[in-house]
Amino acid sequence: MYKRSYALLLNVFSLLLIISCAKKGTITGGEKDEIPPKFVKASPPNFTTNFDKNEIKIYFDEYVKLKDPQKQIIISPPMDPKPEITPLGGASKYVKVKFLDTLLENTTYSINFGQSIVDNNEGNPNPFFRYVFSTGDSLDSLRIQGTVGDALEKKADPFISVALYQIDEEYSDSLVFKEVPRYVTSTLDSITFDLDNLKEGTYKLIALKDVASNYTYQPKQDKIGFYEETVTLPADTAKVFNINLFKEVLDFKALKPKQVSKNSFVFGYEGVADSMKINLLSKTPEKLETRIFPDKTKDTLHYWFKPFFEADSLIFEVTNSKNFRDTLVARFKDQYKDSIKLSNNAKGNLAFNKDFTLFSNTPLESINEKLISLIDKDTVEIPFSVQLDKIKNEAIFTFERTEDNAYKIELLPEAITDFIGNVNDTININFRTKKLADYGTIFFTLQNVKEYPLLVQATDEKGKFIDEKIVAKEETTVFDNLDPGKYNIRVIFDTNKNGAWDTGNFLKGIQAEKVVYYPEAIEVRANWELKQTFILE
C-alpha cells in the first residue's frame, strides 16, 4: 500500500515538473537549415572515361529538387534532343540524367547544374555542381575564361550563353544561325564565364542573349557579341576574353498591311524605315489623297487615304532607297470612321527644355490659332505660335514660359481639322511649370579626347534615355532641367560621324561603336549644380 502511494505521488510530481518546464518557452522547431545538399556519389562516377551508358544518377545526402533547370543547367556540347533530367515537380535523393541523343565519339561532355540542385525543405543550393565524362580514353582539360558586357547599356543582361564553334573545313560564320556550337556555357546571373574541358584546336568565340534557349542566333530577338580574332588552344588559355553584346539592325522588310479603320492601314516593318515609300497600285478614284506618318512607339507606318472607295482588296508596292521592292496585298472593306483623339507631352508638368506638343491618332491637316487660347494662373493671355509638322503628325506650341506657373490651353470646336475632315470638340488642357529651383544641373567636362565628335548622353538609373549632346570640340556639356534623382552619363565614340550610335553586324565582322560610362551614377538634387570631369582612356 505504501509502495503504491509512493509511486502515485512520484508520477504526479513528474507530471507537474514537465508542465512547469513546458511553460518556460515555446518549441520553435530549431534553427533554420542553411546547409546545402552534399554530393555523395555518382553512377557512373564523375570524370568517367570511355563512357557508354544511357543515363547518370547523382546521389546526395538528403532529398533534392531542381529549381529553374531550363536556365541553370548547361550541357556542353549541346544535345538535340535534350536529355531528360529529373526530379521535376518532386523530390528525390538523386538526380537522374537520361540521354535521348547518341553521344559523340571521343568527346568530353560537361553538365553544369549551376544552382539548380536545392534541398527539398529550405531550397539551399548546391553551388555550381558539374558532372564531366568522356566517350574517349581521356578527358579534355583546356580552359578559357572572360567577361561579357552590353555594347550600349551600363549593365549586361544575365544568363548569357557563351559558345565556341570549332573552325574546320565545314565552318562558316553562318553556322551560328542554324548549328549548335561545339562548347557552350552560361554566365548565369553574373557577367563572368568559364569554358572548361576544351579540346586543342581553333575556335570562334561568340556570346548570345539566347531568348529561345536553343543555342542558335535568332536576330529578331537575340543579342550577339563576338571576339574578332580566332581562339587558338592551348595558346590562348591565359587570356581573359571580353565580349560586348549588341542588337543588330535587321535588313529592311515590309510586313503585310492591315486595315484598322475606314480610311487607314498600318504597315509594320523590320529594320529601318527612313526611306520607306508606299504606292497604291490598285485602281483608285482620280483625286485620291494619301498621308503617311510613323507610329510613336512601334515599327509601324500609318497610311491614310481619302476618299473611301469600294474594293475587295488593295495592292500596294513598298520600296526603299536600298533597292527593296515588294508587292503586298491587303483585304479591304468598309469600316467605322475614326474620330480625332488628341494627347500631349506635358503629363501635368512641362519641362523648360521642351515645347508643348499635341499628338493625334489621325493625320493633322490644319490648325486655326484664332480658336485657341493660352492663359496662365492669373488668367493673363499668353501669346503663342503653332507649328504643324505633318511628317511627324504633331503640333508644336511655342510661347514664353515662367517658372512655378499654371497654364490652360483651350481649343474651341473646329480649332483642329484632320485629314479626313474630323474636327475637335471643346478641349481644355491644364499643365504647369515647376520652380527652376526644383531642378538640378550637371556640368560635364571631357578630357583626353583623341577625336571628335562624341555623343554624350544622360540616362536614368534604369537606362532610360533622358538627353543627348553632340560634342564637336573641347567644351563643357550642360544637362539642365533635370529632376532630382540618379543619372548615368555615357560617351559614344561616333566613329562614322553620323550623329548616332551604330550597332554591330556579326556577318560583316563589325563591332558596335564604342561606349564608355562615367564610373559612378551622379546624384542630382533640387537647386544643385554639379561639375564632373571624365578623363577618357
- Environment class of 221 (CB within 10 Å of its CB; exposed 0-12, middle 13-18, buried 19+): exposed
Contact 291, 389 (CB under 8 A): no
- Count of residues in the chain: 537
All CATH 2.60.40.10 domain ranges in the chain, comma separated: 438-535
CATH 1.10.150 fits 262-331, yes or no: no
Longest dimension (CA), the chain: 125
The single residue listed with the C-alpha cell 565580349 is 243
Amino acid (1-letter code) at residue 312: D
Please identify, in words, the CATH class of the domain defined by 142-245.
mainly beta
Right CATH for 438-535 from 3.40.1440.10, 1.10.10.10, 2.60.40.10, 3.30.1380.10: 2.60.40.10
Per the CB < 8 A criterion, the answer to whether 131 and 51 are in contact is: no
CATH 2.60.40.1220 residue window(s) in the chain: 39-134, 342-434
Strand partners, 261: 264
CATH topology for 342-434 is: Immunoglobulin-like (2.60.40)
| Helix (H) or strand (E) segment spanning residue 533 | strand 529-535
CATH class of 39-134: mainly beta
Can you give the pLDDT of all 537 residues of the chain as single tens digits?
A: 444 444 444 454 444 444 444 444 444 455 667 889 999 999 999 999 999 999 999 999 999 999 999 889 999 999 989 999 999 888 999 999 999 989 999 999 999 998 899 999 899 999 889 999 999 999 999 999 999 999 999 999 999 999 999 999 999 999 999 999 999 999 988 999 999 999 999 999 999 999 998 899 999 999 999 999 999 999 999 999 999 999 999 999 999 999 999 999 999 999 999 899 999 999 999 999 999 999 999 999 999 999 999 999 999 999 998 899 999 999 999 999 899 999 999 988 999 889 999 999 999 999 999 999 999 999 999 999 999 999 999 999 999 999 999 999 999 999 999 999 999 999 999 999 999 999 999 999 999 999 999 999 999 999 999 999 999 999 999 999 999 999 999 999 999 999 999 999 999 999 999 999 999 999 999 999 999 999 998
Q: Across-strand partners of 325?
A: 319
Half-sphere exposure of 127 (CA within 13 A, CB side): 4
Handedness of CA 3, 9, 12, 13 (dihedral sign): negative
Cis peptide before 125 (omega within 30 of 0): no
Task: Identify the residue whose cell numbers are 508638368.
Answer: 349
**What percentage of the chain's residues is helix, strand, coil (to nearest 5)?**
5, 45, 50
Residue with cell 503640333: 395
